[in-house]
Amino acid sequence: MFTSLLNHLGDWEYFLTNPLVLAIAAFQIWMLIHAVRNREWIWGLFILIGYGIGAFWYYFQVYQGSSSAMSGFELPGAQSRARIKELEAKIHHVDNAYHHFQLGDVYYRKGKLAEAEKCYRAALERDASDIDTRAHLGQCLLRLKRPAEARPLLDDVCRENFKHDFGYSLMAYAETLMALNETEAALNIWQHVVENHSYPRAKVQLAEMYFAKKQNDLAREQLKDVVNDDVHAPAFQRKRDRVWIRRAKSLLKQLPP
């Protein structure tokens, strides 16, 4: 393929009429836009100069990992790792609640929520009192768009430990209340979270609630904090929070001057 391309260098008619060339060019532009939007400057340069190859490499190394169904909704400590087979083997030999719970977290991080739910429920069958399992099952049910089922689990967890999972359980509870149209209760929780944490996930959703109530100055304050903090955040944090940064910038454009 590349030999054919080299032989036609300078033949613009060939490049403009060859469907494969046009498809590669479109894919390259798509990946370049994604890289620029996410400040992947080195990757952007590589995509520009590495015709086709750079774009495909970027797709598999960066884009796939950033477009997970769970982007912006990570569980603390649930990093992407090739542990499924290892945990399944441990479950086969030991079958304890902790390994089912860990496997649930791996599936959750991969966006395989139905599998995660099964693992969390298996863990609860073996230890119904574990707060981490109850919290993560609640978050899983919320992402499965079953907030009514998630509510009692997250409510109990937050009553037992308001600071559970460094505020992540509380954020999930606020999102559950929002999904159930319990807006005032959700607003109070979001306000509590941002008073104690600097999570963009919390600030953006609080700003969205302020915006819906036409409290534009309060919304702008939260959104500017998110955008300003992002400039100084480490690369791993910017990558994790990029979905919230986009939402913050989008909402800022909608606010009246």
In a domain, 227, yes or no: no
Number of domains the chain is built from: 2
Identify whether residues 131 and 143 lie together within a single domain: yes
Q: Is residue 76 located within the same domain as residue 158? A: yes
* pLDDT at residue 5 in the model: 45
Name the 3-class secondary structure at 21.
Answer: helix
Poorest-pLDDT segment among 22-31, 112-121, 215-224: 22-31
CA dist list (Å): 53 to 25, 36, 66: 11, 17, 19
On whether both 57 and 89 belong to a single domain, the answer is no
For residues 155 and 99, give the distance between their C-alpha atoms in angstroms, rounded to a whole number.
Answer: 25
Residue 61 and residue 106 share a domain: no
Evaluate whether residue 156 is within a structural domain. Answer: yes
In a domain? residue 256:
no
Q: Which residue has the higher pLDDT, 75 or 124?
A: 124
> Which of 123, 139, 164 marks a domain boundary?
164
Shared-domain flag, residues 160 and 91 = yes
First to last CA, the chain: 53
DSSP one-letter string for 207-231: HHHHHHTT-HHHHHHHHHHHHHHHH
CA–CA–CA angle 201, 238, 27 (5° rounding):
110
Residue with tokens 């099964």: 118
Q: Give the model confidence (pLDDT) of 42-86 as tens digits.
A: 777 777 777 677 777 777 666 655 444 455 665 554 444 456 677
Please determine, for residue 237, whether its predicted confidence score (pLDDT) is greater than 70. Answer: yes
86 and 156, same domain (yes or no): yes
In a domain, 191, yes or no: no
Do 155 and 110 have their domain in common? yes
pLDDT, tens digit, 9 for 90 and up, residues 133-169:
999 999 999 999 999 999 999 999 999 999 999 999 9
Q: Is residue 97 situated within a structural domain?
A: yes
Of the listed ranges 149-163, 167-181, 228-242, the one predicted with least confidence: 228-242
The domain that holds 90 is classified in CATH as 1.25.40.10
pLDDT score recorded for residue 81 = 45
Q: Which amino acid is at 81?
A: R
pLDDT at 213: 95
Query: Both 31 and 82 in a single domain?
Result: no
Q: Where in the sequence is the domain holding 111, given as residue range(s)?
A: 70-164
Same domain, 15 and 54: yes
- The residue out of 46, 66, 86 marking a domain boundary is 66
Both structure tokens of 15: 């490049």
The mean pLDDT of 185-208, rounded to a whole number, is 97
Q: How far apart are CA 212 and CA 229, in angstroms?
A: 24
Residue 231 lies in a domain: no
Q: Is residue 61 part of a domain?
A: yes
Q: What's the pTM value of the predicted model, to 2 decimals? A: 0.69
In terms of C-beta density within 10 A (0-12 exposed, 13-18 middle, 19 or more buried), how is residue 239 classed?
Answer: middle
239: part of which helix (H) or strand (E)?
A: helix 235-254
